[in-house]
Each structure stands twice: as structure tokens, then as C-alpha cells.
Amino acid sequence: MAASGGCAQLIGADWSSYDPGEGGPEGGGAGGSTAGGGGAGGLPAVTAVSCTPDARRCLDDGPQRCGDEGEWEDAAPCPAAAPACDGGECVPPSCVGLAKVCGPSGDESCCASAEAVPEGTFNRSNDSGAPATVSGFQLDRFEVTVGRFRKFVEAYDEEGVRPPAAGAGAHPKIPGSGWDPAWDDKLPEDAAALRAAANCDPERYEVWTDEAADHERLPMTCLSWYVAFAFCAWDGGRLPTEAEWNYAAAGGDEQREYPWSDPAESTEIDGSFAVYKCTGDGNADDDCPLSDIQPVGSRSPKGDGRWGHADLAGSMWEWTRDTWSESYSGSCEDCANLESGSERVIRGGAWYRDWQFLLTWHRNHYEPSILTSHVGVRCARTP
């Protein structure tokens, strides 16, 4: 018996002997014996179907799939990288209930996963003296949007969200890379304070709005490194290391100049590849209005990297896990600079910066508590 709205579907029933006023041949009318009559009121025998094959749903926050026999079956549990169930699919918490509105056609999940980034070795910042090997990982296709961040704000005052648990958001192969309780007081004290911080430049670049409006597809701005870290940890992910971010942007061992460069040494760039130089809205680059901040994935697929990531160059600078240092220290494997320091590495250039800041080997750094209209984040995840 498969429910559809308030009704039930009776499949395989033989109605030829059904008399609504009497029971079956040996039934006793409505409410009579089911022997012979086939059920209450003499209903004929039916085959109960609880779902339509291949349908999906969530039960107790776990996914279920309808099998070939029309019965619900438990699907594989949701992984840590996408721990929430929404419509029978495993998703990060920031996309539960969100419409698919991201990407160039506005029909992709804002939590879409690009192709998994495979293990490999490359030269960090195209420097042959700084080779690095990274294990395979996942990196979100898009930068975190206003809509996704709104889910975090709604959950912010819940236990275990602010602050994250000690060690949360760690790279599985880098000891000590998770959340440090010494950072707890760097986070806004409650959701109201977080909302206020999210609107750090209201006079000119009001990307965040307290109520959902027409900015939900824009990349989230005004994120301190600490808030970005806490968001990714809550969302089933972590901040990418600088090596991971650089590896994805450079196309691994292809060592691309820009994420889209094909051949790798090509330096072709214009407004169809990236949101940069205050030309996002298609107008001259001498004004830099809010309209130059464009929805995530707006230059996809032309500006995508080797594994399908959008906006790795332009749009927003993106936080990484690493503490800033002027140079790399030799070769490394699954490494990050966790030393104490006053600044953190950002990568990718931004919507107001010129072409040279978008090159995959360009590095920059900011103080981790800074709030600006040109720094955002995308999360890495462990497959």
C-alpha cells in the first residue's frame, strides 16, 4: 500500500467479488472477518506496496532507498564529509533544505562536489625547490555561499557548533591540525554577534542580509579565518592546506599558470574565465560596485580547474589552513605550516584584483581576525 498524498494505492486487487454492503462469501459485512472476504468490509486481498522502486527518503537522519520489491531499505550511512540526510541524499549540513541554485545555469547544488582530487606530487608555487606530495582529497566545487552560511548562523548557538570540539576540522594525516580551544574566544559569542560580523561593510558591499534575499548565491564575505575554520568543521569538512589548494588550482603535476590553462603555460585570461579587476558585472573597471561580486560558478565551465572546481582564480581570496611564512622549507608530504604566527595564507586573487594575483603560484596573507569584502572560503573534505 503506497501512500500518495492522503490516499493509498491498492495493487493487485481483484474487485469482481467486492460488495461494499456485505462481507465476502463468508465475511460479515463492514468490520467482519477477513476470512474469504479479504479484509475489513470484505475488501479483496491486496498486495501492499510501501514505496515506488528507486524512491529515496531519510529516516532518523539516515538515507533509505526503495528496493525492487517496493519496500524501504537502508542505504549506506552518510559519511563524515556529508553527514546530513536531505531528500534521501547525504549532504553537508549547510545544504539541508537548500534549492539547487548554484553554477552557471543556477541548477546545481551549492554543495556540489567536483571530481575527487587524486594523490600526486607537484611543485608548490611552480618552484622546483619546493615539491610536495598530497594524498587524495575532495574540495568543494564552489566557494561557500551566503545561503550555506545562513544555515551555519541558524545552528551557531547549538551545543558543539560554537566553539568546535577540540581537534575538530583536522587533516587526518597532519597531527595537531584541528581546532585549538585557545581560539574559542576568537569566535563571535552568539548568533546575533555572528550576524553582525557577517555584515562588515554595509555601506558599499552588503553581501550578507539578515533575511534570505537575492544574494543567496553570492560567495560569503566578512569571514575571519576562525569563523571559516569553524564553518568547515561544522559542515563535515576542514580548511584545505595551502599545498592542497595550490595542487588543485595548478592541476597537480600539470603546473598550470591559471586553473583553466590549456596548455599549462597559457596565460590567456579575460572576463569570461574569471571574476576579477572589478569587471564582474561587465562594466568598466574603475568603479568596483557590489554588482562586481558575482554568483559562485558564474564563469564555469570555461574558468574551471582540471578537476571541475569553479572560481579558484578570482571571485574571493580563500583561506587555507597554513600560517604564513615567506618561503617553503624543502620538500614535504601531506604538510601544512602549523607554526604560531600572526597571519594566515590566502590564495586565488579576488574580484577586485588584476590578473597577476590570480596566477596559481601567487601567495598572499592576512591577519586571521580580519573581516573584509574580498575574502571567503571553500572547504576540503576527506573521501
Q: Which of 229, 195, 216 is nearest to 95 (CA)?
A: 216
pTM: 0.86
pLDDT of residue 50: 84
Count of C-beta atoms within a 10 Å radius of residue 341:
14
Alpha-carbon torsion angle 246, 251, 252, 257, nearest 10: -70
CB 122 within 8 Å of CB 242: no
CB 320 within 8 Å of CB 239: yes
How far apart (Å, rounded) are the C-alpha atoms in residues 301 and 272?
A: 10
Count of C-beta atoms within a 10 Å radius of residue 191:
17
Which domains does the chain carry? 56-91 (no CATH), 92-383 (3.90.1580.10)
Question: Angle at the Cα of 153 (from 189 to 366), degrees rounded to 5?
Answer: 70
Give average pLDDT by consecutive 10-residue segment, the chain, 383 residues.
Answer: 38 40 38 40 51 93 92 94 94 96 97 96 97 98 98 96 97 98 98 97 93 97 98 98 98 98 97 96 86 98 98 98 94 96 97 97 98 98 93
Question: Angle at the Cα of 100 (from 95 to 103), degrees rounded to 5?
Answer: 110
pLDDT of residue 49: 53
Question: Does residue 171 sit in helix, strand or coil?
Answer: coil
